[in-house]
Structure 1
Amino acid sequence: MIKIKNEKQINELCEKYQITLRFANWNYLAKELVHYQKGEIIAICGENYDRLFFLVKGSIRFTCVADNYEEYFFFDAYNNGLFGEVEYLLNIPSITQSEAIEDCDCIVIPINKNRKFLDNDLIFQNFLGQVLARKYNELRDSYMNAKVFSLRTRLAAYLINNANCDTNISNLTQISKILRCSYRQLLREFKFFCEVGCLEHLNKKGKYKIANYEKLEAYTREEV
């Protein structure tokens, strides 16, 4: 983590991403520009979380760890994304682990230093409501799809729609993110499809190809 002490750059980024418009008392808020390197952990689940973040460059991955210690993808934040709002509103430790998946810059607003201004800022509170409503709607759609269709069915449908018999399948991390499952869960499903002859595991580690398109397509239907 590197704090960038450049007031001009902070103001330019806040104007560019319209962050200043999210607050009635922007000029009174303590804030800083922070750079995180690729692979750096920004927050650990359960640790005290006294910051609001506006992501202005790069992307950050958020994951949750279940009781069985499997890691589950939660969501990725990209430019102009806000995070830390749940911890701010409920005054609780971090509910996710966040990691920079590429070099990124954030406008960071310390919560305790700014609590009085934030709590009484109607423009900011309205903005928070919109952010939470949008995230809830996106997660609701993902949750409903996960409940209605099994991971096996969703994986088969994804492969049918995004690969063919001549395509090598290697982006397993990205696929687990899209299907909202752990990497370990995804590997189990790939192993199953190899065992039943739908996929072929190539010699190169982590690479697969479709061995039987019609058979794989049958698994897009739940009754299989």
Structure 2
Amino acid sequence: MRLIQNDDLKRQFIAEWGYDHQFSFDVVQAAQLYLFPAKSIIVRAPDRPRDLLYLVKGKTKLYDTLANGKVALIDFFTPPCFIGEMELLDPESPSFTVQAIEDCWCLALPMATYREQLLRDTTFLRRVCQYLGRKNTRNIKTFSQNQAFTLSQRLAGFILLTANNDVYEEKHTQVAQYLGVSYRHLLYVLADFVKQGVLEKVGHHYLVQRPDVLARLAREVDWAPTTAERE
């Protein structure tokens, strides 16, 4: 994580994503801008996030480490979206790990300083309620998509979402669990993509050679990650 002391860039992100419209008080001066490099941990469970973050550039994934040591993918997020809103609203809520898929830029408000003000801010609370509602809808849609669409369609969208600079390297066991399929079935479809020239296997990862083919397969599957309301 690196603090970016560039007021012009910070104001650009604020204007681009309507960050100031998420609150009823002036956050332009209060907010800080952070850069999280690709693959770095933004929030590491069970630690609580120090800041209320607002993702303005990049892609992240949310996952949980289970009691048996296995890692379960939960969701993916792209701009604009809050990170840490549940921990702000409910100090007793469980914390999950958030990792940057690619370089991520976040606006941040220190929770220790602004917690009480945020919890009294009706504009912010309304935005968060809308955002959490969309998160719930996203989870329901993911469940229904796992039953309604072929694995080729869903995996195509998943690869486009999680690839960084056309490099796809998610762990097969985690992906199979997230997509609700067997490990063998997942490997079969990946091998078919390689055979068709859509992917190229290089070591333990894949290079996306035909993003147009993946996009066509995924077109009927809504893979838009959860985002906050934008004005």
TM-score, structure 2 normalization: 0.67
Name the CA distance, whole Å, in 2 between partners of 1:71 and 1:178: 10
Question: Do 1:54 and 1:106's aligned partners in 2 also have CA atoms closer than 8 Å?
Answer: yes
Question: Does residue 170 of structure 2 align to residue 173 of structure 1?
Answer: yes
Matched, 1:158 2:164: no
**Structure 2 residue 140 is the aligned partner of structure 1 residue 143:** no
Give the Cα–Cα distance (whole angstroms) in 1 for the partners of residues 92 and 183 of structure 2.
34
Could you say which residue in structure 1 is the equivalent of 2:4? 4
In the aligned structure 2, how far is the partner of 1:176 from the partner of 1:70? 9
Structure-2 change in CA distance of 1:180 and 1:130 (3 Å): farther
Summarize deviations over 1:97-138 as a string: whole Å, max 9, x none: 111111111001111110122011110010010000000111
Change (3 A) 1:74 1:98: same
Aligned CA-pair RMSD: 3.7
State whether residues 70 and 182 of structure 1, in contact with CA within 8 Å, keep that contact through their aligned partners in structure 2: no
Counterpart-to-counterpart distance in 2, 1:28 and 1:35: 17
Indicate if the aligned counterparts of 2:20 and 2:28 stay in contact, CA closer than 8 A.
Answer: no
2:48 matches 1:48: yes
User: How far apart, CA to CA, are the structure 2 residues paired with 1:80 and 1:27?
Assistant: 16
- Label 1:28 to 1:134 Cα distance change in 2 as closer, same or farther (>3 A): same
Cα drift, residue 88 of structure 1? 0.9
Q: Is the 8 A contact 1:38 1:103 kept in 2?
A: yes
Question: CA offset at residue 48 of structure 1?
Answer: 2.0
Q: Find the counterpart in structure 1 of residue 161 from structure 2.
A: none
SS in 1 for 2:95: coil
Letter in 1 for 2:183: L
- Contact 2:55 / 2:82 at 8 angstroms: preserved in 1? yes
Which of 1 and 2 has greater Rg? 1
CA contact 1:23–1:121 (8 Å) conserved in 2: yes
Q: Per-residue deviation at 1:3?
A: 0.1
Q: Does residue 1:18 correspond to 2:13, yes or no?
A: no
Aligned to 1:60: 60
Cα distance in structure 1, aligned partners of 2:184 and 2:121: 49
User: How many residues matched?
Assistant: 189
Aligned residue for 2:170, secondary structure, equals helix
User: C-alpha separation between the residues in 2 aligned to 1:161 and 1:142?
Assistant: 10
- CA distance 1:133–1:53, shift in 2 (3 Å): same
**Alignment gaps of 5+ in structure 1:** 164-169, 208-224
> CA, structure 1 residues 190+121, in 2 after alignment: closer, same or farther (shift >3 Å)?
closer
What is the TM-score normalised by the length of structure 1?
A: 0.69
CA contact (8 A) 1:53 1:107 kept: yes
Check whether the contact 1:36–1:100 (CA below 8 A) recurs between aligned residues.
yes
Paired residues of 1:41 and 1:97 also in contact (CA < 8 A): yes
Equivalent residue runs for 1:22-101 within 5 Å: 22-27=22-27, 30-92=30-92, 95-101=95-101
